[in-house]
Amino acid sequence: MKQNTIERKEQKRPKRGYGLDKYYEEERIEREKKEAKNKKKKIKKRIFLCLKILIALIILGIIGIFLFFKTSLFQKYKEIWVQTAMTTMNHQYLATWFLSDEEIAEIMKSLEVENNENSNSENIVVEKPKEEKKITVEKITGKGYVGYVMTVPDASKVKLVDGRQKRKRLKTKWNCKKTQCSWWN
C-alpha cells in the first residue's frame, strides 16, 4: 500500500527544473486541505463528547432529584429541606416544586413542637455559675498550634498595650508591678 502511494507521488513529481516548485506548492496545498478536514473532525468529536457528558449529567441530576424527593433514602434531609423552605417567606417554591401539599403538611406536622400548657415554669431553677474574681491563664493546644487563653472576669479593667518596643515593655512591666498582677512574673 505504501509502495503504491510512493510510486504515485514519484509519477506526479517532475524530474528537474521549473515544475518542481509548482509540484511542492500543490503538495503543500493538499496537505493543508487534509489538515483542515482532520481539524474539523476533531472539533466535531469534541462537541459530540461534550454533548454526551452534558446529557449524562442531566440524566444523573434527574435520577438524583427523584431519589431525594420520591424515596425514603434521604428522609432526614428531605425533612430539613422542606422545613427550611416552608419557614422562609420567599422560597417556599423549593418544596412545592417537588412534593405534593399533603407530603409537605405531613412533614411539617411531624416537625411541630407540642406546647404542654400544664407545665409550671416556677419549678424550673436555673443555677448561675459562681463568678470567679481571679484571672486565669490556660494553655491550649491543637494540631499545628499552641496557645494561651486568658480569662478575665471584669473586662473593663483590661488595658491593651503594645509591648513590641523596649520602652513600652518596661512601662508594661512597671504597670503590672504597680497594680500587683498575680500572673506577671
Tell me whether residue 86 is in a domain.
Answer: yes
Q: Are 85 and 50 in the same domain?
A: no
Identify the bridge partners of residue 142 per DSSP, sorted by sequence position: 145
How high is the mean pLDDT in each 10-residue block of the chain (185 residues)? 56 59 79 87 92 97 89 86 85 85 88 70 70 79 83 75 58 63 51
Task: Kindly state whether residue 100 falls inside one of the protein's structural domains.
Answer: yes
The whole-model pTM stands at 0.41
Residue 34 placed within a domain: yes
Domain that holds residue 8: 2-56
Residue 106 lies in a domain: yes
In a domain, 27, yes or no: yes
For residue 137, being part of any structural domain is answered with no
CA 164 from chain centre, in angstroms, equals 39
**Residue 180: inside a domain:** no
Q: What is the pLDDT of residues 90-140, one digit of tens each?
A: 888 888 888 888 988 888 888 777 766 666 666 667 777 776 677 888 888
**Structural domains in the chain (count):** 2
Do residue 8 and residue 52 come from a single domain? yes
pLDDT at 83: 87
Within-domain flag for 179: no
Q: What residues pair up with 136 in beta bridges, in sequence order?
A: 151
